[in-house]
Structure 1
Amino acid sequence: MDEAELRARLSRLGEEHRDLDAAIAALAGAPGADALQLMRLKKRKLRLKDEMQLIRDMLIPDIIA
């Protein structure tokens, strides 16, 4: 993947991460919220965060000081 593709992927993941954040907040505030569904959304959000960090690490070159 080239840098432009990585940046585009990072942008899409960031948008999905924000959407999940909103969905989690809405579900958590709902009466009788499904705890299992909430847990799955939170795990997905964490996986997205990890993938976003991996892409950021790929975009930033290693500099040995």
Structure 2
Amino acid sequence: MNAPSDLSMKTDDVLRFELEVLRQEHRDLDEAIRAMQDLGTSDQLTIQRLKKKKLQLKDKIAIIDDRLTPDIIA
């Protein structure tokens, strides 16, 4: 088991901080991709890699968000 990435070992405060850092990184990547596309001279491979990284961040954000949001049985 990889302790640094194990969500069950982290407090909610730590997870909230990590969530905000990941969201900021996701926004930064979005801005970088948009800027590269607007220039029109950017490398498509680089854009693809940035988009893949952005999707990975989105998945991590969803996992942490699910961990922080309690299940409510109605």
Which TM-score tier does this pair reach, normalised by the shorter chain?
A: over 0.9
RMSD: 0.9
**Alignment of 1:57 onto 2:66:** yes
TM-score (norm 2): 0.82
TM-score (norm 1): 0.92
Structure 1: unaligned runs, 5 residues or longer: none
Runs of 4+ in structure 1 displaced over 4 angstroms?
none
Alignment of 1:20-35 (within 5 A): 20-35=29-44
Cα distance in 2 for partners of 1:31, 1:64 equals 49
Structure 2: unaligned runs, 5 residues or longer: 1-9
Q: How many aligned residue pairs are there?
A: 65
Q: Secondary structure at the match of 1:62?
A: coil
What residue number does 1:5 align with?
A: 14
What residue number does 1:37 align with?
A: 46
Cα distance in 2 for partners of 1:30, 1:37 equals 13
Q: Secondary structure at the match of 1:33?
A: coil
Residues 31-59 of structure 1: CA deviation (Å, up to 9, x unaligned): 32100000000000011011000000000
